[in-house]
Amino acid sequence: MRILVDADACPVKNLIEKIAKELKIPVIMFVDTSHVLKSDYSEIVIVSKAPDAVDFVLINNSEKGDVIVTQDYGVAAMALGKGAYAIHPNGKVYTDFNIDMMLAQRHAARVNRMAGNKPYKQQKRRINTDDNNFYDSFYELCEKALNQQK
């Protein structure tokens, strides 16, 4: 079991490493060539800047039981399909029960944008509560994944 991170715009890399160190779980962070990332704990994998390159390399390297951290619903869906766990940096755990609705909402928003309509809500700034929610959910998910290994 490993933790794989879509790290290009991931705001919780430090929390991921803190929990991974405590639970002794290896971490692999995937970034494209336009990002500079260093870590004393995680393995850093740098991939092409091509569209979705990080997503596909991450999924191709994932295995059943891994924990995937991503903001991308498509990546989460592929991770679930491989038997991995997936979580959003806001702490929302992706499941087989909620991913279809999330993908449908993403599609509807894209259709709306392509029709020239402005998004109906603005992206809110990240606050400490978001980090706390992620920390709690991520810790619980990692423990669950570790227990499933036994």
End-to-end CA distance of the chain: give it in Å, rounded: 11
CA distance 58 to 50: 14
- Asked if the model's pLDDT at residue 108 lies above 70, the reply is no
pLDDT of residue 79: 95
* Confidence tier at 123 by pLDDT (50, 70, 90): low
Determine the average pLDDT of the residues in 134-149: 94
Query: Domains (ranges, CATH) in the chain?
Result: 3-145 (3.40.50)
Determine the average pLDDT of the residues in 103-129: 70
Give the chain as a 3 state SS string. Answer: CCEEEECCCCCCHHHHHHHHHHHCCCEEEEEECCCCCCCCCCEEEEECCCCCHHHHHHHHHCCCCCEEECCCHHHHHHHHHCCCEEECCCCCEECCCCHHHHHHHHHHHHHHHHCCCCCCCCCCCCCHHHHHHHHHHHHHHHHHHHHHHC
The 10s digit of each residue's pLDDT in 48-87 is 988 889 999 999 999 999 999 998 888 999 999 999 999 9
The residue ranking higher by pLDDT, 118 or 33, is: 33
pLDDT of residue 144: 95
Determine the average pLDDT of the residues in 83-108: 81
- Asked if the model's pLDDT at residue 117 lies above 80, the reply is no
The 10s digit of each residue's pLDDT in 18-37 is 999 999 999 999 999 988 89
pLDDT of residue 122: 62
* Confidence tier at 125 by pLDDT (50, 70, 90): confident
* Confidence tier at 46 by pLDDT (50, 70, 90): very high
